[in-house]
Amino acid sequence: MPQVSFEHIVKSFGAVTVLNDLNLRIDDGDFLVLLGPSGCGKTTLLNLLAGLLEVTDGRIKIGEREVTDLEPKDRGLAMVFQSYALYPTKTVHGNLKFGLSASKLPADEIEKRISWAAKLLQIEPLLNRKPAHLSGGQRQRVAIGRALVKNVEVFLFDEPLSNLDAKLRTEMRLEIKKLHDELKQTIIYVTHDQIEAMTMATKIAVMDGGVIQQFGTPDEVYEEPANLFVAGFIGSPAMNLRKASLAKNGALIEAVFPSGVRLDVSDYRFADAPEDGAEIIVGLRPEHFGLPEDVTNAAGTFELPVRYTERTGSDATVFLEFENELLALRIAPDKTSRFKSGGQATVGFQRNKANLFDARSGRRI
Amino acid sequence: MSSQATAATIGNTPTVQYFPRRKKRISGRSIAVLVFLTICALFFSVPLYVVVVTSFKSMDQIREGAIFSLPYIWSWDAWDHAWNHACSGIRCNGLKVGFWNSVSILGPSLVLSIVLSMVTGYALALWNVRWAGPFLFILFICAFVPFQIIMYPLIVMTSTVKIYGTVWGIAVVHAVLAMPVLTLIFRNYYKDIPTEIMSAAVMDSGSFWKIFVEIIVPMSGNILIVVLILQITSIWNDYLIGVTFGGLNSQPMTVNLANLVTVSTGTTNYAQNMAGALLTAIPPLVVYFAVGKLFVQGVTAGAIKG
C-alpha cells in the first residue's frame, strides 16, 4: 500500500529557494494536512507531488514507485483545486468522464464509476448540468467527484473549501472527513485554516518559510507545540506568549514574569534539566484560565484590570491587561458578568498546562 | 418602532429597477454630437448611394453627369452583364467565375490559417514551450514585414512544393501571413484561461490534443467569431495574394473585378463597374450583418470579469 515520501526536496524558482532539503513521510491511509500561512510553500509541495511543478533536487516516492520524473497523469493521483477548476463547457457527467480520459477503461466501467461517485456525493440529479448552473457547494462536490472516479490511492486537496461560505464549509468539512473514513485513501490536504486542520487531520505538518515546523497528530501539535511559531499559529484566540525567567528552588520551579507574578511549572515535562534564571517564553492557552473557584490548586493567580470582552455565542473571550499587553482568556459566556470593563478580575491558570520555550531559539524546552 | 421598520426594509430589499431617465431638454453638447454623427454617416453613405444608383442607370443617363439623380428606368442589365458576361482577360464569363474561385479559396484559407494559429497560440499560452518568449517576439516582428518583400521567396517556395497556381497555394500563403497576428490574438485569449483548469486537465488526461479538442476549443467560441470575421473579410478582399499565387485558373473575384474595371476597350461602362464592385463587396457585408452582434460580444469578452 502506498506511503508517500518526500526525500531531500529542494525547489527553487530562479534565485529564490522555496523549499530546502525537506523530508516528509505520509503513511498509508493518513489524512495529512499541510498547514501554514500564505507563501509558506505548502501548495508548492503539493504541486511537486502532483507533478505540476518539477523538483530542483530530491526524490518523491509513492509506495515503492519513484514518481519524481513521471507525468502528472501517470502518478496515480487525483487533485481537487481551490477554484474547483471544472471544465465550463462540459456537463457534470462530462467533467467526471474527462477525469478518466487517461485511463483506458471500457465504457461500461466508466459509466459505473461515474454513477458510483455521483451517488456517493449526491449529485445524481445534476449530471446533465453545466458548472455555470451549479451552486458553490455543488461545484465543490463535482470537483471531488472528478477526483473520486479515478479510484486512486492518494488524493490531493488544495484549499478546497476556501471559496465556500462558513456554513457550507462546515458541512463539506464533515463530508470530506466522512469520505476519508469510508474510502480509507491517503489524503494530503493543504489549508491555512487551522480549524480544518484540527477537525479533519490524522496528522498535521505545520509549515513556515518552506520548513516543516512540526509534524504530529492534531493533539500533539495543539498541546505540545514544538516552537513559538506553531504555538502562535495554532489556536484561536492565539496562545498568550510572555517573557519570563525560570526560578529554581529545590523541587519547586517557577516562571517569574517581569512584574513579579509567579507561575508554578514544577510538573512541566522538561526535555532537559532546567537551569535557574534561564530566559524563557511562557505560552498560556486562553482556555486554561478560569475563575478562582473553578481552578482549584491553580499554578498561578493573576489579578488584572479588565479591558474588553467579546462574546461569540458558545463562549466568550476576555482581554485583561497584563504587563501593558492584552492577555486573552476564554470563559463560559454566563461568567462574563464577572468581568466588567474597567474593573479588576482575578483568574487562575490551571496546573500542568503551560508551554515553555527557550527565549533565544524559540524551541520548546 | 423605527428600528423595526428599518429591519423590515433590510429584510425585503425592494426590487430595484433601472431605467433610463427621460431627458428634460436636449443640451447643446448633444446637438453637436448628433450633427457630427450625421456628417459621419453621410460621409460614408453618400458614395455608397452614388454607386448603387449608378449601377441601375443606363449609360445615356450616366453621361448626363447628374450623379445624384435616381435612374429614369431601373435596369438590372449592368448587374447581369457584370455577373455573367464581363471579360477578364480573354475570357468573358463574368464575375461569377471569380466568385466561385473566391469561395473555394475562402474555405481552405480560413481553416488552414485559423487552425494553425489556434494550435500555436494554445501551445504558447498553456504549455511549457522552450524559447516561447523569443518565438513570440519574432512572431510579433513578422507581423510588421510587408508582404511585397517576401513575395518572391514565397513564389519560389510554393512552386517548389508544387502548389503554386492552385487554391492550396493561396491558402498556405494566407495562413502564413495571418499567423503572427492571429497567434497573438489566440495566445492572449488563452492566457486568461485559469491555470487550475489547465492543471486539472493535465492531471486528468495529459494529452496535448485531447485537452485542445475537448476543453480548449469549446471555450474558444467568442474569439473564434472575431477571428472568423477578420479572416473572412481579409481573405475575400485580398487582391495581391490572389493575383500572384492564383495562376490563371484560381484567380479570386477581386482580380476579375480589377480586370473588368481597368482593362476595357471602348467606353468605360460605369454601370457595370459599379455593379461588379457591389457584387464583390456583398459577401463580407452579409457576414458582418449576420454575426456583427457576436463580433462585438467577442471583442469585449473578458473585458469585465463575470
Predicted local distance difference test score (pLDDT) of residue B119: 96
The single-letter code of the amino acid at A211 is V
Question: Are A23 and A6 within 8 A, CB to CB?
Answer: yes
* The residue count for chain A: 365
CA distance readout (Å), A288 to A294, A298, A308, B40, B110? 11, 10, 18, 80, 74
| Residue of chain B whose alpha carbon sits nearest to that of A150 | B204
Cβ within 8 Å of residue B262, ≥6 positions away: none
Residue B8 has pLDDT above 70, yes or no: no
Given pLDDT bands bounded at 50, 70 and 90, which one contains residue A79? very high
Q: In what order do the strands lie in the sheet with A279-284?
A: A262-264, A252-256, A240-249, A279-284, A355-358
Can you tell me the distance from the alpha carbon of B178 to that of B114, in angstroms, rounded to the nearest whole number?
9
Predicted local distance difference test score (pLDDT) of residue A236: 84
Maximum CA extent, chain A: 77
Q: What do you get for the CA distance between the two ends of chain A, in Å?
A: 37
Are A85 and B196 an interchain contact pair (Cβ–Cβ within 8 Å)? yes
Predicted local distance difference test score (pLDDT) of residue B4: 43
pLDDT in tens, A183-220: 888 999 999 998 899 999 999 999 998 899 999 999 99
Question: Are A283 and A365 within 8 A, CB to CB?
Answer: no
Secondary structure E strands in A130-219: 154-158, 186-191, 203-208, 211-216
pLDDT in tens, A231-273: 999 988 899 999 999 998 888 899 999 988 899 998 888 888 8
Q: Which helix (H) or strand (E) holds B101?
A: helix B95-126
Three cell numbers at A147?
477526483
Q: Cα Rg for chain A, rounded, in angstroms?
A: 24
| Residue of chain B whose alpha carbon sits nearest to that of A80 | B200
Are B203 and A88 an interchain contact pair (Cβ–Cβ within 8 Å)? no
In the block, cell 423605527 appears at B2
Contact residues on chain B for A43, CB-CB shorter than 8 A: none
B217 Cα to chain A: minimum distance (Å): 10
Contact residues on chain B for A47, CB-CB shorter than 8 A: 199
Can you tell me the distance from the alpha carbon of A343 to that of A339, in angstroms, rounded to the nearest whole number?
7
Average pLDDT of A102-110? 85
In the block, cell 468522464 appears at A97
For A196-221, give the secondary structure using H, E and C. HHHHHCCEEEEEECCEEEEEECHHHH
Of the candidates B202, B215, B219, which has its C-beta nearest A52's C-beta?
B202
Cβ within 8 Å of residue B72, ≥6 positions away: B57, B58, B61
Average pLDDT of B192-200? 90
Of the candidates B197, B207, B214, which has its C-beta nearest A85's C-beta?
B197
Question: Are A73 and A82 within 8 A, CB to CB?
Answer: no
Question: Are A231 and A239 within 8 A, CB to CB?
Answer: yes
Given pLDDT bands bounded at 50, 70 and 90, which one contains residue A44? very high
Residue A362's SS3 state is coil
pLDDT in tens, B122-178: 999 999 888 888 999 998 898 888 888 989 999 999 999 988 888 888 999 999 999
Contact residues on chain A for B203, CB-CB shorter than 8 A: 50-52, 72-73, 77-79
Of the candidates A85, A86, A102, which has its C-beta nearest B199's C-beta?
A85
How would you classify the pairing of strands A211-216 and A289-290?
A: unpaired
Are B196 and A82 an interchain contact pair (Cβ–Cβ within 8 Å)? yes
Range from A320-329, B201-210, B262-271 carrying the lowest mean pLDDT: B262-271
Given pLDDT bands bounded at 50, 70 and 90, which one contains residue B23? low
Can you tell me the distance from the alpha carbon of B18 to that of B125, in angstroms, rounded to the nearest whole number?
40
Given pLDDT bands bounded at 50, 70 and 90, which one contains residue B306? very low
Residues 183-202 of chain B whose Cβ lies under 8 A from any Cβ of chain A: 194, 196-197, 199-202
Count other C-beta atoms under 10 Å from residue B247's C-beta: 14
Range from A100-104, A257-261, A279-283, A351-355 carrying the lowest mean pLDDT: A100-104
Contact residues on chain A for B194, CB-CB shorter than 8 A: 83, 85
With a pLDDT cut of 90, the percent of chain B lying above it is: 34
Please spell the DSSP secondary structure of A300-321, one letter per residue.
Answer: EEEEEEEEEEEE-SS-EEEEEE
Are A79 and B203 an interchain contact pair (Cβ–Cβ within 8 Å)? yes
Contact residues on chain A for B205, CB-CB shorter than 8 A: 73, 98, 101-102
Average pLDDT of A23-34? 92
Average pLDDT of B7-25? 57
Average pLDDT of B73-82? 86
Are B197 and A87 an interchain contact pair (Cβ–Cβ within 8 Å)? yes
Are A72 and B206 an interchain contact pair (Cβ–Cβ within 8 Å)? yes
Q: Is B219 on the interface with A (CB under 8 A)?
A: yes
Task: Name the residue with higher pLDDT: A334 or A283.
Answer: A283
| Residue of chain A whose alpha carbon sits nearest to that of B306 | A132
Residue A314 CA to chain centroid, in angstroms?
22
Of the candidates B194, B202, B210, which has its C-beta nearest A83's C-beta?
B194
Q: At what angle do helices B270-300 and B28-55 cross, to 10 degrees?
A: 140
- Which residues are bridge partners to A282 per DSSP? A242, A356
Cβ within 8 Å of residue B4, ≥6 positions away: none
Can you tell me the distance from the alpha carbon of A147 to that of A78, in angstroms, rounded to the nearest whole number?
5
Q: What is the mean pLDDT of chain B?
A: 84
With a pLDDT cut of 90, the percent of chain A lying above it is: 49
Residue B3 has pLDDT above 50, yes or no: no
Q: Choose the mutation target among A71, A74, A101, A105 for the interface with B, i.e. most B CBs under 10 Å.
A: A101
Given pLDDT bands bounded at 50, 70 and 90, which one contains residue B9? very low
B210 Cα to chain A: minimum distance (Å): 9
Residue A64's SS3 state is coil
Can you tell me the distance from the alpha carbon of A189 to that of A204, in angstroms, rounded to the nearest whole number?
9
Q: Cα Rg for chain B, rounded, in angstroms?
A: 27
Please spell the DSSP secondary structure of A238-296, one letter per residue.
Answer: PPEEEEEEEEEETTEEEEE-TTS-EEE-TTS--SSPPPTT-EEEEEE-GGGEE-TTTST
With a pLDDT cut of 70, the percent of chain B lying above it is: 87
- Which residues are bridge partners to B244 per DSSP? none
Average pLDDT of A4-15? 91
| Residue of chain A whose alpha carbon sits nearest to that of B205 | A102
Q: Choose the mutation target among B204, B208, B211 for the interface with A, i.e. most A CBs under 10 Å.
A: B204
How would you classify the pairing of strands A154-158 and A77-80?
A: parallel
Average pLDDT of B49-54? 91
Given pLDDT bands bounded at 50, 70 and 90, which one contains residue B78? confident
Can you tell me the distance from the alpha carbon of A305 to that of A308, in angstroms, rounded to the nearest whole number?
10
Given pLDDT bands bounded at 50, 70 and 90, which one contains residue B15? low
HSE value, Cβ hemisphere, 13 Å, CA-based, for A12: 8
Given pLDDT bands bounded at 50, 70 and 90, which one contains residue A76? confident
Cβ within 8 Å of residue A156, ≥6 positions away: A46, A49, A50, A77, A78, A79, A80, A187, A188, A189, A190
| Residue of chain A whose alpha carbon sits nearest to that of B218 | A89
Q: What do you get for the CA distance between the two ends of chain B, in Å?
A: 41
A90 Cα to chain B: minimum distance (Å): 8
Q: Choose the mutation target among A52, A90, A148 for the interface with B, i.e. most B CBs under 10 Å.
A: A52
B225 Cα to chain A: minimum distance (Å): 17
Residue B176's SS3 state is helix
Predicted local distance difference test score (pLDDT) of residue A311: 86
- Which residues are bridge partners to A319 per DSSP? A308, A328
Predicted local distance difference test score (pLDDT) of residue A328: 92
Q: Is B249 on the interface with A (CB under 8 A)?
A: no
Q: Is B207 on the interface with A (CB under 8 A)?
A: yes
Question: Are A169 and A161 within 8 A, CB to CB?
Answer: yes
Q: Is B218 on the interface with A (CB under 8 A)?
A: yes
User: Does ipTM surpass 0.95 in this model?
Assistant: no
